[in-house]
Amino acid sequence: MRLENKVALITGGGSGIGEAVVKLFASEGAKVVIADINIEQAEKVAGEVTGSGGEALAVKVDISNKSEVEKMVADAKEKFGKIDILINNAGINRDAFAVKMREEQWDSVVDINLKGTFLCCQAVQSVMAEQGGGKIVNTSSIGALGNMGQANYAASKAGIIGLTKTLALEFARGKIYVNCIAPGATKTPMTEGIPPDIAEKIAKKIPLRRFAEPEEIAKAHLFLASSESDYITGQVIFVDGGISVGI
């Protein structure tokens, strides 16, 4: 098993890609901390992991709140003694054309997606450095390249790429690897509300002609979280069915 005896902290682990990451990591031997604003969902996923013989802890957290993030990290370390892997998966969207976008829509998306990622990386750095290293995988998006009606989301996801590259440089001496996944359209609760005709049009623009399954994105996380990526840091992997090639 590729993550045997590792401890992985996954934000947004209660649903979607985060849930898929939790279950894949647990199946690969990791002890998982499922951090989510929706504690009921986090506990449900934790129950499924423990029911399958794994070890899991559910934690409620607003990742845009520094004190809550620090408590999340402290709780994870208290429970399992260390944190080997951080998956920054939690994120939101509040779509609107720029000229109509309210300040609250901008602030909430940037606070959760970009600030939240930064706070989680900052909080876990000292734990990982003290134990001799670790793996951080941030979550950008194909939207980082620009998308109509998503000025806030695109800015936050592009910011995560810059943050990833900078932290890879700053954290390297502590043997902390920092990389980034940029998913394309994926079957998650965030995309469930897309009308079928619009979803079909989106799929036709993707070279592979379909949305990704959450488990397919999770496999890319597994690679970057495992020892198989031990000479990779500061990189962004687009897991998008090829659509970024034509942009």
Catalogue the active-site residues: 153
- Three-state DSSP class for residue 56: strand
Q: Which two tokens stand for residue 172?
A: 């390297």
Provide the sign of the torsion angle of the four alpha carbons 69, 75, 81, 87, taken in this order: negative
User: Which among 160, 11, 1, 24 has a CA at the least distance from the CA of 76?
Assistant: 11
Residue 137 β-bridge partners: 87, 179
Token pair belonging to 140: 């950008």
Going by C-alpha positions, the residue among 50, 106, 89, 47 that lies closest to residue 225 is: 89
